[in-house]
Amino acid sequence: MKKIAFFDTKPYDRPKFELYGEQAGIIYKFYETKLNEDTAHLAKGCDGVCAFVNDSVNEAVIDILEGLGIKLLAMRCAGYNNVDVKYARKRLCIVHVPAYSPYAVAEHAMAMLLTSIRRIHKAYIRTRDFNFSLVGMTGFDLHGKTVGIVGMGRIGRVFADICRGFGMKILAYDKFPAEDGDIPYVSLDRIFSESDIISFHCPLTSDTYHMLNAETIEKLKKGVVIINTSRGALIDADALLDGIKSRKIGATCLDVYEEESDLFFEDFSGHILEDDTLARLISMPNVIVTSHQAFLTEEALANIAEITTDNIVEFFTTGSCKNELSIN
């Protein structure tokens, strides 16, 4: 049986991974700590490592894992911007979960949008105090509004289908536009200047880093709603805050944040938040923040566990994996 060191474990991870691990003959050794230079030695005696979005897989960590005889790093997520894939080449095999449930993330994006524009979160708080006033609760219809979708992979396409159901006009941007379908692909400038709502569904790369910044915010339609359920660093958080304060941005829905790695997935309710930018964003009445929650459905958790386990089995059986990451 293969033994896998499983880092950054949360209570909702274990049931599905234990189930699929047992079926496949894999033992997952669960650690609550994140993977980094100080904790990588915990993988000693294991055949592989399983990591998540906020684990650190830099050169130093890769060197430690290689020194321990680790051959496989299995990312239980789609994104891998926290992994030095180029350095890992010829040292470790890196695999990931390219898709687990586009519906989970796309539906969460729409849930945040509806909550924001219809003031659902505010209504919930008011009525619990028996305050039934509607003053300050006016929203707007989604029907007829233009939504700009940045990134038209599986999640972007599902989000487009959802928006179409609301009668919205769709504009899309993708570095590699699909030729099929009836979705109009336009430039980023048109997305920024014409959209009433902009939703980000693209990976984080050198090209997409801070694609929403002080300069591009100037191009936005006044009152635009920004949604990000993809990667935090797509947006310059300080520029975003300035855009909100200047009333250029009408509302913001964030499930990810640029500096989330030491904050999200943890309980800091009894502490003073050191990140001033995030604290100020959360304090804004037109900002909704969820802590990287979009993926968290029963269906997605099951898919993640199953695909990750299949990746591990395939690698140790054949020496390769169809979901291996590689940079030439």
Tens of pLDDT, residues 73-95: 999 998 888 999 999 988 999 99
Tokens of 304: 């993640």
CA–CA distance, 231 with 217 (Å, rounded to integer)? 18
For the domain spanning 2-100+297-325, the CATH number is: 3.40.50.720
CA–CA distance, 230 with 241 (Å, rounded to integer)? 18
CA–CA distance, 9 with 16 (Å, rounded to integer)? 12
Contact 207, 182 (CB under 8 A): no
Locate the domains of the chain by residue range.
2-100+297-325, 102-289
Residues ≥6 apart with Cβ < 8 Å to 201: 105, 106, 109, 149, 150, 151, 152, 153, 155, 156, 159, 229, 230
pLDDT in tens, 226-252: 999 999 999 999 999 999 999 999 999
pLDDT mean across residues, the chain: 95
Residue 326 has pLDDT above 80, yes or no: no
- pLDDT score at 293: 96
Enzyme catalytic residues: 231, 260, 292
- pLDDT score at 182: 83
- pLDDT score at 102: 94
Residue 311 has pLDDT above 70, yes or no: yes
Overall average pLDDT of the 105-118 stretch:
98
pLDDT in tens, 266-290: 899 999 999 999 999 999 999 999 9
Tokens of 230: 């993809």
Residue 50 has pLDDT above 80, yes or no: yes
**102-289 topology per CATH:** Rossmann fold (3.40.50)
- The CA–CA distances, whole Å, from 275 to 237, 264, 288 equal 11, 12, 16
For residue 183, give the 3-state DSSP assignment.
coil
Which residue bears the tokens 């040292």? 91
Query: 224-257 burial, b for 16+ CB within 10 Å, e for fewer?
Result: bbbbbbbbbbbbbbebbbebbeeebbbbbbbbbb
The DSSP result for 50-84, as a single string, is: EE-TTS-B-HHHHHHHHHTT--EEEESSS--TTB-
Same CATH topology for 2-100+297-325 and 102-289? Answer: yes
Regarding pTM above 0.85, the answer is yes
The phi, psi pair for 137, rounded to 5°, reads -110, 10
pLDDT in tens, 157-194: 999 999 999 999 999 999 999 877 789 999 999 999 99
